[in-house]
Chain A
Amino acid sequence: MTQGPVLLSVRGLRKSFGATEVLRGIDLDVHERELVFIIGPSGSGKSTLLRCCNRLEEPSSGSIIVDGTDLMARGTDINLLRRRIGMVFQNFNLYPHMTALGNVMLALRRVLKKPRAEAEEIARAALARVGLADKAANYPTELSGGQQQRVAIARAVALDPKIMLFDEPTSALDPELVGSVLATMRELRESGMTMMVVSHEMGFARAAADRVLFMDQGEIIEQGPPTQIFEDPREARTRAFVQQINRH
């Protein structure tokens, strides 16, 4: 793979909840157009790492630089920076009182201050991109889980982010609905989006990831191309985890 410049740079990232240290010094560079896939047992800190990258969790120490802007610096307008960092959640978190279109338009209107017509045009294009142009007028409860998650992806994509964070995007979905979300993610990937994905979809990782990180107990234990991590892991802990996953 041709590596672009570094888009996200994490150094010495630590995060504690009370006395529990969830992240114990993470160093990580994500390059432009790269898809980094993060695996690890539950409680390993992978979601926390993701959530620190847009400061939904406040890091205890360390530095995070996104697209040249220091996320932790006092002068940084976090709201301005966040629209360049798209996030997709396990439970979709769509706004239930708004239509699919309304969900996608909200930040366009309120953060980017686009006039209504322009915001609607962008939002409809984003919904079309995830294959849901015909669902614009539907409320989240009228959509399947897979459709809801794709609306959530459209909501993030509409803001034209530099990087997208996926926090277990398919974990809450019925198995038959997973495919449509993964297909949407793959389409994003092919369009050159930089992505960080926490997930258990190993098939997707093999097919689409440039690099797989294995995390355990708040540390990155091993990283490398999917073939290395899944077929020839160097660390005993990675091997044990991969074997356990494969058994399922």
Chain B
Amino acid sequence: METLLDLRDAFFNLDIILRASPILISGFWMTLKLILTVVPLGLLGGLIVALLYTVPSRAVRWPLIVYVDLFRAFPPLVLLVFIYAGLPFAGYEISAFAAVSLGFFLNTSSYYGEILRAGIESIPRGQVEAARSTGLSKWQAMTWVVLPQAVRNVLPDLISNTLEVAKLTSLASVVALPELLFQARQAQSLTFNATPIMAAAIVYFVLLWPLVRLLSRLEHRMIASH
């Protein structure tokens, strides 16, 4: 009984929650802001990468492969630290938020780019031919015929990657960006209590669980339709 109460006091301490809630809430908003910045930017960058892949030119393809391979192989944490701590040595002062956004953009655009490329390549040639034969331009065929189908085909992968990116935003705590994990650790060291970390963990779960559910349902539906 004694130990149970100790556990409760250490991990689910209501008093601590109340005291730490302002700082945790500000951390939550920062995490949300980060996700809502990084995911659209990454998707946009990925779309550009995937579209550039369709250009039949080596001069385009080679730099693209280098870009995608480089940033997929580079650990995102190393990338963040490099941008945040390394760039100032080259004379570029950069805010923590900008550093994190840039680092994640380079990383996620490569991943989203590969996913969207696979989606575009999964669409049969005949689809474009049909569109072109009715007078649609290359870009119109891409916009109205290929992309909608491509996105649908790789939707589970896109969601899965989004989930990964959302989780990776906690890496930003390393470069002192006051997002959820960073704030929780602040609160923990101020209160000498693990409850804020527990609270942060639960917030992450509540935030991301709907995406996990959605992904799972989509995957089941994909399997069912095959």
A interface with B by C-beta (< 8 Å):
54, 56, 79-80, 82-83, 85-87, 89, 91, 93-97, 106-107, 110-112, 152, 155-156, 159
Residues of B within 8 A of A79 (CB): 132, 135-137
List 27 A-B residue pairs with CB atoms under 8 Å apart, sorted by A's residue number. A56-B132, A79-B132, A79-B136, A79-B137, A80-B135, A82-B133, A82-B134, A83-B134, A83-B135, A86-B133, A93-B124, A93-B126, A93-B127, A93-B129, A93-B130, A94-B130, A95-B131, A95-B149, A97-B148, A106-B131, A106-B134, A106-B136, A107-B131, A107-B136, A111-B140, A155-B130, A159-B134
The reply to whether A107 and B126 form a contact with Cβ atoms under 8 Å apart is no
Residues of B129-164 at the interface with A, using a CB-CB cut-off of 8 Å, are 129-137, 140, 144-145, 148-149, 152
CA distance A82 to B140 in the complex (A): 14
Q: A97-B149, A106-B144, A110-B144 are in contact. Are A54 and B133 (CB under 8 A)?
A: yes
Closest 6 CB pairs between A and B? A93-B130, A107-B134, A83-B135, A111-B135, A87-B133, A93-B126
Question: Contacts A82-B132, A97-B148, A156-B134 given; 17 further ones with Cβ under 8 A?
Answer: A56-B132, A82-B135, A85-B133, A86-B134, A87-B133, A89-B126, A93-B126, A93-B127, A95-B127, A95-B131, A107-B131, A107-B134, A110-B140, A110-B144, A111-B135, A155-B130, A159-B135
CA distance A159 to B131 in the complex (A): 12
CA distance A87 to B145 in the complex (A): 17
A196 CB, min distance to chain B CBs, angstroms? 13
CA distance A103 to B124 in the complex (A): 16
Q: A79-B136, A80-B135, A82-B135 are in contact. Are A96 and B130 (CB under 8 A)?
A: no
Residues of B within 8 A of A82 (CB): 132-135
Residues of A within 8 A of B145 (CB): 95, 106
The reply to whether B133 and A91 form a contact with Cβ atoms under 8 Å apart is no
Q: Mark B34-55, 1 if CB is under 8 A from A, else 0.
A: 0000000000000000000000
A127 CB, min distance to chain B CBs, angstroms? 15
Q: Closest residue of chain A to B138, judged by CB?
A: A79
Residues of B within 8 A of A83 (CB): 134-135
CA distance A67 to B129 in the complex (A): 22
The reply to whether A89 and B130 form a contact with Cβ atoms under 8 Å apart is yes
CA distance A49 to B135 in the complex (A): 19
Selected from A56, A107, A112, A155, the residue in CB contact (under 8 A) with B129 is A56
Residues of A within 8 A of B127 (CB): 93, 95
The reply to whether B130 and A95 form a contact with Cβ atoms under 8 Å apart is yes
The reply to whether B136 and A110 form a contact with Cβ atoms under 8 Å apart is yes
Q: Closest residue of chain B to A84, judged by CB?
A: B135
B110 CB, min distance to chain A CBs, angstroms? 27
Residues of A within 8 A of B149 (CB): 95-97
